[in-house]
Amino acid sequence: MATTKRRPPATRSSARLRGDYHILVELVAKVRDEAGKTQRDVADQLGQQQSWYAKSESGERRMDMLEVLAILDALGVDAGDFIRRLRRALKKAAH
């Protein structure tokens, strides 16, 4: 009996996701600025080098969800509020 691979649900294309990633990193930078912290401040709180954080925030290296959550915690930003802002920014960019 042949097995069929399940396709993931049709959502945004992977090219579109890559294109939208800049919205995430721009929002991370914006909330850091709003919190009055430097990249070095956040990197120090995370036990990382400033260059690691700068590459994350610029999009040169991709952040995973756990890293984003750690950054938000370091900034004192509520993750739910951040996700709502991100969804609004993504919707705005799609129009």
Residue 9 confidence (pLDDT) = 46
* Confidence check: pLDDT of 95 > 70: yes
What is the mean pLDDT of the segment spanning 37-43?
98
Domain assignment present for residue 3? The answer is no
Q: Which domain holds residue 51?
A: 19-94
- Within a domain: residue 11? no
Both tokens of residue 12?
């945004």
Helices 39-46, 65-75: crossing angle, 10 deg rounding: 110
Distance of alpha carbon 36 from the chain centroid? 19
Predicted model pTM: 0.80
Has residue 25 been placed in a domain? yes
Q: Does residue 32 fall inside a structural domain?
A: yes
Q: State pLDDT tens for residues 45-88.
A: 999 999 999 999 999 999 999 999 999 999 999 999 999 999 99
Q: Band of the pLDDT at 19, cuts 50, 70, 90?
A: confident
Task: Quickly list DSSP for 24-80.
Answer: HHHHHHHHHHHHT--HHHHHHHHT--HHHHHHHHHTSS---HHHHHHHHHHHT--HH
Count of structural domains within the chain: 1
Q: What is the CATH number for 43? A: 1.10.260.40
